[in-house]
A and B are shown apart, each in its own frame.
Chain A
Amino acid sequence: MERTEEKPNGSTHTISLLVENKPGVLHRIAGLFSRRGYNIASLTVGPTERPEYSRMTIVVRLSSKPVEQVVRQVQKLVPVVEVRELSAHDLIERELMLVKINTPERNHAELRALAETYEATIVDVSPDALVVEASGNAGKLDALEDRLRTFGIQEICRSGRIALERGFKTLAPPNLK
């Protein structure tokens, strides 16, 4: 399905979900976002401390609808055990980025220095290309991406955001703790 729409705008929210690790769950969640017109900026899914559950982190961009409405709609899905918006100032968020740069060898030293500044590492080097790996929050990766652009970015791959709340709070509802 392709939905035509105006340029995405509005504010972004980080939503964390604990879902049953069963076939079709991603389809259910992605379908809900699509049919209700919630824009997904990024979506990650992976295993948790319990094999029967997966954790999803969805960054959603909303222009008119309140985020509570998104949370309540998602909560209605039967395989969704818990869902919450993570508050922006109480949040540890990370993203992984791989960037392939097509640049002559004489620039490599300068690139290494830049990478170091951003706590990034060079993970592959060939005569006319190298791959930079970086992790951090989206702002830092955006900045690094910007700086790398002058060297000629050939390919880029970002993982999308994962996030946890600070402190002892967890997402699991009482009956699962």
Chain B
Amino acid sequence: MAKEKITGAMVVRRALEAEGVEYAFGMPGGTILPLYDALFRCERPKTVLIRHEQVGGHAAEGYAHATGKVGVCMGTSGPGATNLVTAIADAYMDSVPLVAITANVSRPLIGTDAFQEADITGITMPITKHNWLVTDPQDLPRVMKEAFYVARTGRPGPVLVDVPKDVLQAEIEWDGYPESVDIPGYHPPVREEPRLKDAALLVRSATRPIIYLGGGIRSADAHSEVLAFAELVGAPVVTTVHGKGAFPETSPQCLGMFGMHGTRYANYAVQNSDLIVALGARFDDRVTGKLSTFAPEAKIVHLDIDPAEISKLVTATVPLVGDVKRLLPQLTEEVRAAFAQHGKPDTSAWWKRVDDWRKKHPLRYEQDGQKYLLPQYVIETLWKKVGAKAIVTTGVGEHQMFAAQWWKTSAPRQFITSGGLGTMGFCLPSAIGIQLGRPGELVIGIDGDGSFQMTLQDLATAVDLELPIKIFVLNNLFLGMVRQWQELFYDRRFAGTPLPDRPNLVKLADAYGCLGLRADTPEQLDQVIDQALANSKGPTIVDVRVRRQEKVFPMVPAGAPLNDMIDGGGD
């Protein structure tokens, strides 16, 4: 029987179908037209028309964060592809599985500076796990299979497949979608035997242990494994911003986020510990502070799936390379055995110190007597109303850190943010992807006025899709986080940070055909939250006017030791 002949564009469609892709976020253009044509009226994957490719990238990230599946975004050649760069870099820093599909100019035009030509594989080499320029149509099924495989396995991350227009148009013999991949240089499994007994012995010997959770717990879906380990060891738990939700923050065992804007008690606990068990984390400078003074007495057990993260910044006493979901239960068993044999170390004195710090240096703010709303109050009020059931996403800036401090997250994939790259404009796009990935759930965006304005054109997309996302813009008419640094470190010279009071967000929402609300006082806040929650017909934008000079505390100044925090109570 003669084999079926299909176009390259149809190969891409069948690959997306085979991978179970629900949504492909993008915007058509000259070179990607054959693919859009192949996806015409396709229900699964459904194309989602965004108004800027960066938004498509972040929406795919939000979808991937919220569901654990691979997100897909598309762009046409040239500017369509380069507009994806920020989102791809963001996904790379935060280990988000993402497949970006770009079209390029036809093969004879590549390298001729053709209209809308950009070397997108060259441009994205440093910010993808891998990328492909498909010049032989017969390679397309294999490349698509490899792309999804590389994106989701090992340490997840973004990949990019660049397909010239004439490859999308070319016909190939369809052999079916490949069932397996064979990439000789790609080894997500590890080769060294993990030293679990050594690690367990360190846990057994520690009297001031800390468990440090990063984004790897979410990637591996290892929450129950973490719970079992933490329960056995009984050590205080601290998290990164991407570790939020890896352990219930409402539990007394959890000290919340540590690092630059972490709690004082979490930072003190880390600095004074004699053992740090780091799980799925990478000792980013935002959590370690000045490296040479980081946790001076602590031995380090570092479990991560990426061998290159081991001893990159902080030397591991015992490295454990592997999948935390698979390895952590083994470590738990080894620790259980060590406890059974040698007894469990007494950590009561340690807990006493930790609790004293917690009592002495709580996170705090004082709304009473304030003329203006405080951002912390806004977030806590919102959290008290919807807390456990909402999925939160944020932009980047002060509002993001306030949210990280005050939004107590207790379940995985409930707190989604741009951590590593710190991409302003992430909130609205990611909310779109999250809501599509988890329909029927409550999606709350906590954004800033600067951050919101970077991607607000895609309110149109959210309205098109009737997504009932609720974006609370904590509006202080400043690029607040930068202003904070200027106030603290640049002698109050507010260069480029004051934002004029425009656009009028209520009118803007109206112009886009969605609900716009505004709150200036605690009473109004209460009311608009209820109104926003009651609106299920589409997006709601809430302009919340907050105190302009409010700063995020405590704070470790960049380059300072982790326990050298300024303001925010105590000392």
What is the minimal beta-carbon distance from A103 to any residue of chain B, in angstroms?
45
Give the residues in chain A near B150, CB-CB below 8 Å: 78
Give the residues in chain B near A173, CB-CB below 8 Å: 184
Which residue of B122, B185, B186, B311 is within 8 Å of A69 (Cβ)? B311
Determine if B129 is an interface residue (Cβ-Cβ < 8 Å): yes
Give residues of chain B (150-192) contacting chain A, Cβ–Cβ below 8 Å.
150, 183-186
Residue of B at shortest CB range from A17? B185
Tally of B interface residues using CB under 8 Å: 18
Give the residues in chain B near A77, CB-CB below 8 Å: 130, 185
B308 touches A69 (CB 8 A): yes
B129 touches A78 (CB 8 A): yes
Instruction: Decide yes or no: A73 and B185 within 8 Å by CB, A28-B125, A31-B125, A35-B126 being known contacts.
Output: no
The total of Cβ contacts below 8 Å across the A-B interface reads 46
Determine if B306 is an interface residue (Cβ-Cβ < 8 Å): yes
Determine if A19 is an interface residue (Cβ-Cβ < 8 Å): yes
Q: How far is the CA of A176 from the CA of B183 in the complex (A)?
A: 12
A76 touches B308 (CB 8 A): yes
Determine if B138 is an interface residue (Cβ-Cβ < 8 Å): no
Determine if B312 is an interface residue (Cβ-Cβ < 8 Å): yes
Give the residues in chain A near B310, CB-CB below 8 Å: 72
Chain A positions 66 through 82: 1 when the CB is less than 8 Å from some CB of chain B, otherwise 0: 10110011011111111
Determine if A20 is an interface residue (Cβ-Cβ < 8 Å): yes
Q: How far is the CA of A23 from the CA of B111 in the complex (A)?
A: 14
Determine if B121 is an interface residue (Cβ-Cβ < 8 Å): yes
A78 touches B122 (CB 8 A): no
Give the residues in chain A near B122, CB-CB below 8 Å: 24, 27
Determine if A175 is an interface residue (Cβ-Cβ < 8 Å): yes
Determine if B419 is an interface residue (Cβ-Cβ < 8 Å): no
Tally of A interface residues using CB under 8 Å: 25
B125 touches A75 (CB 8 A): no
Instruction: Decide yes or no: A72 and B307 within 8 Å by CB, A78-B183, A80-B185 being known contacts.
Output: yes
Chain A positions 127 through 149: 1 when the CB is less than 8 Å from some CB of chain B, otherwise 0: 00000000000000000000000
Chain A positions 159 through 173: 1 when the CB is less than 8 Å from some CB of chain B, otherwise 0: 000000000000001
B126 touches A24 (CB 8 A): no
B311 touches A68 (CB 8 A): yes
B308 touches A72 (CB 8 A): yes
Chain B positions 297 through 312: 1 when the CB is less than 8 Å from some CB of chain A, otherwise 0: 0000000001110111
Which residue of A23, A24, A68, A78 is within 8 Å of B186 (Cβ)? A78
What is the minimal beta-carbon distance from B391 to any residue of chain A, in angstroms?
31
Residue of A at shortest CB range from B135? A23
Give residues of chain A (12-54) contacting chain B, Cβ–Cβ below 8 Å.
19-20, 23-24, 27-28, 31-32, 35
Which residue of B130, B306, B311, B312 is within 8 Å of A78 (Cβ)? B130
B308 touches A73 (CB 8 A): yes
Chain B positions 92 through 133: 1 when the CB is less than 8 Å from some CB of chain A, otherwise 0: 000000000000000000000000000001100110011001
Instruction: Decide yes or no: A81 and B185 within 8 Å by CB, A28-B125, A31-B126 being known contacts.
Output: yes
What is the minimal beta-carbon distance from B87 to any residue of chain A, in angstroms?
19
A75 touches B186 (CB 8 A): no
B184 touches A75 (CB 8 A): no
Give the residues in chain B near A78, CB-CB below 8 Å: 129-130, 150, 183, 185-186
Give residues of chain A (66-114) contacting chain B, Cβ–Cβ below 8 Å.
66, 68-69, 72-73, 75-82
Instruction: Decide yes or no: A79 and B185 within 8 Å by CB, A24-B121, A31-B126 being known contacts.
Output: yes
Give the residues in chain B near A75, CB-CB below 8 Å: 307-308
What is the minimal beta-carbon distance from A99 to any residue of chain B, in angstroms?
36
Give the residues in chain B near A76, CB-CB below 8 Å: 129, 306, 308
Residue of B at shortest CB range from A174? B191
What is the minimal beta-carbon distance from A35 to any residue of chain B, in angstroms?
5
Give residues of chain B (36-68) contacting chain A, Cβ–Cβ below 8 Å.
none
Give the residues in chain A near B308, CB-CB below 8 Å: 69, 72-73, 75-76
Q: How far is the CA of A77 from the CA of B122 in the complex (A)?
A: 14
A69 touches B184 (CB 8 A): no
Give the residues in chain B near A28, CB-CB below 8 Å: 125
B184 touches A81 (CB 8 A): yes
Give the residues in chain B near A81, CB-CB below 8 Å: 184-185
Which residue of B125, B307, B311 is within 8 Å of A66 (Cβ)? B311
Q: Please name 9 further chain A to chain B contacts, defined as beta carbons within 8 Å, in addition to the given A24-B125, A31-B125, sorted by A numbering.
A: A28-B125, A35-B126, A66-B311, A68-B311, A72-B308, A76-B308, A77-B185, A78-B186, A176-B184
- Contact sample, A vs B, 20 pairs, CB 8 Å cutoff: A24-B121, A24-B122, A24-B133, A27-B122, A31-B125, A68-B311, A69-B312, A72-B308, A72-B310, A75-B307, A76-B306, A77-B130, A78-B130, A78-B150, A78-B185, A78-B186, A79-B185, A81-B184, A82-B185, A176-B184
CB-CB nearest 4 A-B residue pairs: A72-B308, A78-B130, A81-B185, A72-B307
